[in-house]
Amino acid sequence: MTSSFAVRRQFVIGAFLVAAAAAPVAAAHHIPQAGNPLAECSSGEESDTFTTTCVPYLVPTSPPVFTTTAANPDVPEVDGIPCIGHNAGGCIGLAEDAQMEGPPAQPRVTISSSP
């Protein structure tokens, strides 16, 4: 009587082991393939990471205010002044001045006159 119980118990344990081993294989088989995005953003727009929608560029393309040198690429500079230590205040002021100037003016490409 105990041997039939032991056989039945081992059969149930084996069935659970097979089911546990087959579950990840079945799940990996049913992973959907990555498709093409439904819509691409038009020119002048970029995809927003958080809302997954297209939004217009908020910052006009302009050169970066902070640069680095080859001597120490880890330290940013503004107009050759490193932005560390006692130069931090001057660096912030120069960066604000550069941003206040705004983008360079675009000259007109047509000539017009009034009558």
Amino acid at 15: A
59 vs 94: which has the higher pLDDT: 94
Mean pLDDT of 19-25: 82
Phi-psi region of 98 (alpha: psi -120 to 50; beta: other; left: phi over 0): alpha
Mean pLDDT of 9-18: 90
CA atoms of 80 and 62, how far apart (whole Å): 19
Boundaries of every domain in the chain: 59-101
Give the pLDDT confidence score for residue 92 in this predicted structure: 83
CA atoms of 15 and 22, how far apart (whole Å): 11
Residue with tokens 């017009």: 112
pLDDT band at 13 (very low <50, low <70, confident <90, very high): very high
